[in-house]
Each structure stands twice: as structure tokens, then as C-alpha cells.
A and B are shown apart, each in its own frame.
Chain A
């Protein structure tokens, strides 16, 4: 029988976000000043209601079917038989041109898990888009991490989806060999 389970969870992640943007010009700050969001150590969540079932353990092996490019991840090596922490690696997504500017996401992974997300490039072609980027950027990053930690398949909502963000993020995941 089909079952629908609605569970409430208040997933609160410590947000390390930088909201200082230069909105005067079209360039949103140097890369180092772009917002980023990171999971607190241990990736904690808190729930007000019965917590959703999440699995923990070693990352699930995935198969990269994304096409002809077969560049192995830079930190590739024989997997350790014990639960050693995988080395952190940073992967850049493609720079995507949107009607509003350029979006390029960079992610840091530990194994197949995103532990940090940020923007390598985030430009706006007009003032309004710059303002929206300033609001939307940290939200997008935080949602990426929420999605990871709650182990969900997608998000529904009147959320701040930014054209180009998901595409750049997906390309970063493809390059990292993670889906």
C-alpha cells in the first residue's frame, strides 16, 4: 500500500555566511568575500518531532555515468578498509551565464558528502539582480547543505532558486563523481 509520512523537522544548521556584498557595481566582491555555508563539525540537526530516519556510515558508492569525461577525482586512492575520514577536496562547477549574470559554484566534499559550499563567481548585470543575489546566495547555499544532511531527494517550496545555481552545482557534483 502506498504510504505517505509527513514528518516535521526543524533542521537547523550553523550557518557560516558572509553577507557583505558590494552592490554598487556589477561584480559581487572578490571570491574570498563571497558567501559560503558550512556544516558544523559533525553535521548536526535538531528536530522538534520524531526525526526522519537518516542513514549514517560510509558513503554509498556511486557510478558516474555522466558522459565521456572520465577524469578520476584528484584524491583517488585505494579505499581504506576501516572508517578513515576521506580527504577533503574542492570542486568547481561550470560558470553558468544566466539572464542576470554569471553563477559558478564551488563545493568541498568529504567523500561524497558536501561539507562546504560557496560561490567562485557571482556577478549581476543590474542593480536589482545584485540585490537579489545578495539575499538569495546564502539561502541557496544553506539549502544545499540542508538537502544533504536531511538526505532528501529534492525540495518543494517558494524557495530562492536561482537560475544557474543548480546547473553549476550539478556540474560540480558530476565532476566530483557524486550524484
Chain B
């Protein structure tokens, strides 16, 4: 690790993946993590498309009307609609035909968990949910967080290391149980990108952008991300090449390649 920890990392299973809470502030009550874990389970019970009894699943079947859903469901769906407009349809809560806002929900859930830790007094922490990460503050005084990006084609290797204060990092690509990202326009797997990583201040945005640009394919992804103020991207193409957007240099993040 890059710095001695004052509290142990906590690992928890939810939403079919592994969540890691890493608080670097001394004196933060570990019970705040319990509250954040309860939140994650609540999100799973509301939004999981793998469970028939969630509001999202019932909504998708037509057994429930949007007006009967809890406010957070309406908020998420509204945000998905905005993202669909903003990405020209490449992010869509209906990418595969049925209602599935998962491309936004996980990042949003993690970011909200991080907000809870912040509200409880933790100004330096990281929450990692299955490879989507929201950091706040630094990993140690004066030491920004360092998040490795897994190489999609060289298992076990890192393709890049992202360093930043309060940075969120999301990666889209083929998953271990199959590629789950489709181009909503063609209903087929996009071409050209093995993985795309988006970094910026908010994980809910980074997660949605990573999903959207992966669906755009290599050619359009870079151009689209160049237009995003405050967010920048790193891609690995199917032929093993890499690229990063230049936008981060002017967005206030700065840095060197």
C-alpha cells in the first residue's frame, strides 16, 4: 500500500460484486461503513434487474407505474434520460430493449455511499465497487490516490495508473462473464475498444460516460470525451494500442503523461 492505514479496509459483497471501503482519516467511526453497506443493499433491492421483485424489474414488466416508484427511482430514471440525450443515445437505460439503468446505478450508488462517509466526517477515503472507484481527498497527507487500470488484454497487468485528489475512476469493457455493453443503435457489441476508462470528479458521471463511450466504439469515443469538461478518458483498443484525451490538461486537473 502507499501509506499506513489508520483503519482496516472493509470488504463487502453486494450487487453481485465486491465493494471495498478504505478510510484514511483517523478517528472515523467504522459504523458509518455499516450505514453505507445498508445503502448498497437498499439500492440492490430497488434496482437489481436480476431479482424479479425490485421496483425496476416490476417497472420493466409493466407491473408498476413510474409514478408509484420511490423518488430515488424517479431521480435515477430522469438522470438516465438526461444522459441519453447528452450522449446522443449511446447511454441508454433501454440499451438492450428492456429497462436497465445499471450503467448509471452502480456509479451513483458508490458515489452516494462516499457522500455518506463524507457527511460522517471522512474527508479522505475510497469506495471501490467492482472496479468503479470514488475517492475523496488523498490517500495520505499530500499524497493523491493512485488507482491502477487493469489491462483488458494482458490479465494481471496494469495499463495505466491514474493519480488524483478526490478522483473517480470508472472502466467499461468486456467483463468476466461476457460483454454486457451493447450499442443501443445497433443492438450489437461495439467495435474497436477493449476497454475505456473515464476519470473525473463524480463517479455517477464517469460510470455513465464510460458506458456510453464504450458503446460508441473507438473512433467516436475519444472525440466525445474530448468535449467533456472536467472528465478525461483513456482507452485500450482491440489491437492493443492506447490513447488518452487531452481535455484533462485544461480542465483544472493538469498533469503529465
Contacts and interface: CB of A to CB of B under 8 A. Distances in A.
Contacts of B22: 153-154
A31 interface: no
A66 B30 CA distance: 10
Contacts, number: 208
Given A4-B255, A146-B148, A152-B146, A179 B161 contact: no
14 contacts: A6-B163, A6-B244, A52-B146, A52-B161, A62-B5, A135-B176, A138-B155, A150-B148, A153-B1, A153-B135, A153-B146, A157-B149, A163-B17, A163-B18
Interface string A138-174: 1101110111001111111111111111110010001
Nearest to B199: A4
B250 to A, nearest CB: 12
A160 B177 CA distance: 9
Interface string A6-30: 1111111101000000000000000
A88 interface: no
A169 B248 CA distance: 35
Contacts of B238: none
A161 B198 CA distance: 19
Contacts of B195: 157-158
Interface stretch (B7-15, B60-68, B85-93, B183-191): B7-15
A146 B157 contact: yes
Interface in B85-118: none
B162 A157 contact: no
B48 interface: no
B152 A158 contact: yes
B156 A170 contact: no
Interface of B: 1-9, 11, 13, 16-18, 20, 22, 126, 128, 130-133, 135, 139, 144-152, 155-167, 169-177, 195, 197, 199, 232, 234, 242, 244, 248, 252-257
A164 B242 CA distance: 32
B256 A155 contact: no
B161 A3 contact: no
Given A1-B254, A8-B242, A11-B158, A60 B150 contact: no
A166 B169 contact: no
A98 B151 CA distance: 26
Contacts of A68: none
Report the 5 A-B pairs with minimum CB-CB distance, sorted nearest first: A142-B156, A157-B150, A158-B173, A4-B253, A159-B150
A5 B167 CA distance: 11
Contacts of B177: 132
Nearest to A149: B158
A110 to B, nearest CB: 15
A63 B133 contact: no
Contacts of B234: 6
Contact of B164 (A3, A152, A158, A164): A3
B150 A158 contact: yes
A61 interface: yes
A155 B18 contact: no
B230 to A, nearest CB: 11
Contacts of B252: 1-2
Which of A4, A52, A61 neighbours the largest number of chain B CB atoms within 10 Å of its CB?
A4
A109 to B, nearest CB: 13
A136 B7 CA distance: 29
A139 B13 CA distance: 20
A161 to B, nearest CB: 6
A167 B21 CA distance: 12
